[in-house]
């Protein structure tokens, strides 16, 4: 793949930033978080963004990028407040746990304990079930986030009570706004305070969240100083205004605005126990919903379980809890790693929660490394990387470690992120030396042969004897080497191709990975 070819590419708004640069500078210094975030903003078309990274209860990175108001060219600064939408639910659940500590709410009690005149089918639902979206209640809002009755909130409240339950309480997960409508009502009834007053007094004022308090709980209904305007992007990459209206009746579910720095303060206070008297309260807050049936989990294997206002990402390494809002703002906490990340944007659908792990890698040089790879890393740091192949073979032979190609590739990419260029080259080379001898028969290789269409160019995959080759549109043909039966690497550069099959078992796309950037290509011709 030569430079002249890729210089001719016209990059669309959704293209990966700097494809040429990635190809010919495969081991580029990737420890620059600013460059990483700016690249993601360009890739996704995000106008403005704030970030705050907390490590060991201290803010180690705080920055603002881009434009808060595109129409008037107003830049994002540290005081810009962003719509955090359903992240409001995390504040609501902290308030609930504070009331639990005071003996005013029992998570296991039915909601009818605190509210009268509920439909009979609702009365045995517990407080825990509404907070974890496992109640089975019908939604007060439609799929366009509008009231189900256009006449108003009261009419919608009456209408939702006439609808059938979606499932038996506790049997499944279904995210909806009715749950937190009820939570807000319960909070106000047992505390004797308005929802907003309770949040302000016992959370915002406690940690000095002045911008958040000033922005209020009714996003865009009033005029808020330093408010970032929300946008949406169409398929052509053009922006349009988003004027989100949060009905007053669901204030406990959505409506707050904040800054990354103030959310960082809140996250630190939460993890240090400043909001709670009982040390167990945070553990309960992050305890996922116990579902009475495993049917839902089997049908939704990629969905993360939901705790009290937070999604839980349960995995062997680097466990994570996330609260997110509007597809544009998120806070992720890695409890075992003492790191938290706040990302706020003003582009609906940008899903910053999907960037959290990549950001965490800048701060954790062993992120997602298996125990065996960590041992290899430790030995290499002690003895040096010059004899990595001999050392790795010795450890494998002795039975001390065992690993796969993908693990070494991830280790190498982490080294790149931490500006350890030479060590990364060594591990990429080690990966190729150990795992480039996977022999695939011609029939297997022929499954991958064909043309694949990416965003800005096409790749042709061809077979010659027992080897596969790739050619980008009008470019040089290069060999690719199998490391598993579906993953191949290019030895000339840090790049890999993974072939993906559809449900019928046919190859329908490839994923080209270039220095931690993924480009997907649909198979258009065999």
Residues 320, 235 share a domain: yes
431/457 same-domain check: no
Q: How far apart are CA 331 and CA 95, in angstroms?
A: 18
Beta bridge partners of 44: none
User: Does residue 42 form part of some domain?
Assistant: no
Residues composing the chain:
526
Is 142 contained in some domain? yes
DSSP letter assigned to residue 520? E
The structural domain count of the chain equals 3
Residues 431, 450 within the same domain: no
| Residue 295 sits in the same domain as residue 407 | no
Q: How many CA atoms lie within 13 A of 260 on its CB side?
A: 30
Query: Does residue 407 contact residue 369 with C-beta atoms inside 8 Å?
Result: yes
**291 and 164 belong to one structural domain:** yes
Last residue of a domain, one of 411, 435, 459: 435
Q: pLDDT tens per residue, the chain (526 residues)?
A: 343 333 333 333 333 333 333 333 333 333 479 999 999 999 999 999 999 999 999 999 999 999 999 999 999 999 999 999 999 999 999 999 999 999 999 999 999 999 998 999 999 999 999 999 999 999 988 887 788 888 888 999 999 999 999 999 999 999 999 999 999 999 999 999 999 999 999 999 999 999 999 998 876 666 778 999 999 998 888 999 998 778 888 899 999 999 999 999 999 999 999 999 999 999 999 999 888 877 777 777 778 899 999 999 999 999 999 999 999 999 999 999 999 999 999 999 999 999 999 999 999 999 999 999 999 999 999 999 999 999 998 998 888 998 887 899 899 989 988 989 899 889 988 887 787 656 688 889 999 999 999 888 899 999 887 788 898 877 778 888 887 888 888 866 668 899 999 989 999 999 998 766 788 999 998 8
> What is the pLDDT at residue 232?
95
How far, in Å, are 80, 205, 469 from residue 22 at the CA level?
A: 33, 46, 20
> How many beta carbons lie within 10 A of that of residue 307, not counting itself?
22
pLDDT score of 2? 40
Residue 460 falls within a domain, yes or no?
yes
Backbone angles phi, psi at 519, to 5 degrees: -120, 125
SS3 assignment, position 258: strand
Alpha-carbon span 15 to 3, nearest angstrom: 17
Same domain, yes or no: 409 and 462: no
Question: Are residue 356 and residue 376 in the same domain, yes or no?
Answer: no
Answer with the one of 360, 383, 405 that is the final residue of a domain.
360
> What's the pTM?
0.79
Instruction: Let me know whether 476 and 340 are in one domain.
Output: no
Domain of 261, CATH number, reads 3.40.710.10
Q: Are residues 225 and 179 in the same domain?
A: yes
Contact 357, 368 (CB under 8 A): yes
User: What does DSSP say about strands 329-334 and 256-258: parallel, antiparallel, or unpaired?
Assistant: unpaired
Whether residue 57 lies inside any domain: the answer is: no
Task: Residue 472: give its domain's CATH number.
Answer: 2.40.128.50
Residues 183 and 127 in one domain: yes
Q: Are 341 and 356 in contact (CB under 8 A)?
A: yes
* Residue at 60 is within a domain: no
* Domain end call among 301, 334, 360: 360
* Coil, strand or helix at 285: helix
- The secondary element (H helix, E strand) that includes residue 356 is helix 356-360
In a domain, 481, yes or no: yes
Closest to 202 (Cα-Cα) out of 343, 325, 104, 307: 104
Is residue 186, in this structure, part of any structural domain at all? yes
In a domain, residue 178? The reply is: yes
Q: List 219's β-bridge partners, or say none.
A: none
Q: Domain of residue 114: give its range.
A: 85-360
Contact 88, 244 (CB under 8 A): no
Q: Which of 428, 434, 407, 404 is nearest to 416 (CA)?
A: 428
Phi-psi map region of 497: left, alpha, beta (phi>0 left; psi -120 to 50 alpha): beta
Question: Phi and psi (nearest 5°) for 521?
Answer: -125, 125
378 and 456: one domain?
no
- Asked if residue 248 and residue 393 are part of one domain, the reply reads no
């Amino acid at each position: 793949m030569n430079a002249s070819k890729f210089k001719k590419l016209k990059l669309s708004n959704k293209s990966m930033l700097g494809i040429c640069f990635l190809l010919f500078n495969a081991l580029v210094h990737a420890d620059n978080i600013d460059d990483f975030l700016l690249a993601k903003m360009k890739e996704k078309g995000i106008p403005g963004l704030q970030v705050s990274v907390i490590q060991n209860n201290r803010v180690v990175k705080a920055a603002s990028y881009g434009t808060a108001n595109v129409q008037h060219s107003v830049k994002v600064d540290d005081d810009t407040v962003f719509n955090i939408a359903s992240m409001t639910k995390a504040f609501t659940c902290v308030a609930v746990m504070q009331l639990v500590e005071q003996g005013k709410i029992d998570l296991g009690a039915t909601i009818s304990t605190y509210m009268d005149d509920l439909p009979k089918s609702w009365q045995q639902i517990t407080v825990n079930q509404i907070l974890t979206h496992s109640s089975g209640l019908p939604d007060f809002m439609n799929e366009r986030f509008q009231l189900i009755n256009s006449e108003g909130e009261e009419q919608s409240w009456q209408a939702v009570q006439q609808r059938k339950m979606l499932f038996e309480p506790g049997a499944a997960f279904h995210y909806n706004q009715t749950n937190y409508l009820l939570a807000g009502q319960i909070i106000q009834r047992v505390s004797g305070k308005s929802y907003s007053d309770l949040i302000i007094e016992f959370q915002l004022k406690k940690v000095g969240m002045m911008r958040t308090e000033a922005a209020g709980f009714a996003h865009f209904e009033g005029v808020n100083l330093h408010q970032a305007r929300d946008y949406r992007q169409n398929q052509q990459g053009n922006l349009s205004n988003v004027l989100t209206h949060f009905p007053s009746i669901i204030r406990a579910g959505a409506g707050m605005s904040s800054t990354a720095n103030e959310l960082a303060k809140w996250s630190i206070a939460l993890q240090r126990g400043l909001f709670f008297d009982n040390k167990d309260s945070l553990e309960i807050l992050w305890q996922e919903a116990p579902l009475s049936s495993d049917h839902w989990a089997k049908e939704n294997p990629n969905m993360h379980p939901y705790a009290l206002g937070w999604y839980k990402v349960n995995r062997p390494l680097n466990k994570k809890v996330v609260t997110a809002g509007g597809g544009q703002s998120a806070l992720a906490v890695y409890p075992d790693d003492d790191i938290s990340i706040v990302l706020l944007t003003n582009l609906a659908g940008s899903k910053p929660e999907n960037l959290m792990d990549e950001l965490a890698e800048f701060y954790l040089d062993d992120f997602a490394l298996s125990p065996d790879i960590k041992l290899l890393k430790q030995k290499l740091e002690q003895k040096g990387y010059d004899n990595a192949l001999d050392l790795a073979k010795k450890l494998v032979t002795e039975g001390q470690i065992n690993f796969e190609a993908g693990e070494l590739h991830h280790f190498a990419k982490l080294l790149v992120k931490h500006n350890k260029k030479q060590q990364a080259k060594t591990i990429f080379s080690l990966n190729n030396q150990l795992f480039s001898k996977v022999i695939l028969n011609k029939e297997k290789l022929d499954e991958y042969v064909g043309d694949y269409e990416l965003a800005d160019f096409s790749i042709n995959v061809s077979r010659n004897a027992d080897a596969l080759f790739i050619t980008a549109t009008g470019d040089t043909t290069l060999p690719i080497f199998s490391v598993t039966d579906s993953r191949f690497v290019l030895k000339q550069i840090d790049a890999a191709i993974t072939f993906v099959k559809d449900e019928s078992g046919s190859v329908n796309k490839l994923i080209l990975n270039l220095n931690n950037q993924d480009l997907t290509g649909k198979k258009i011709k065999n």
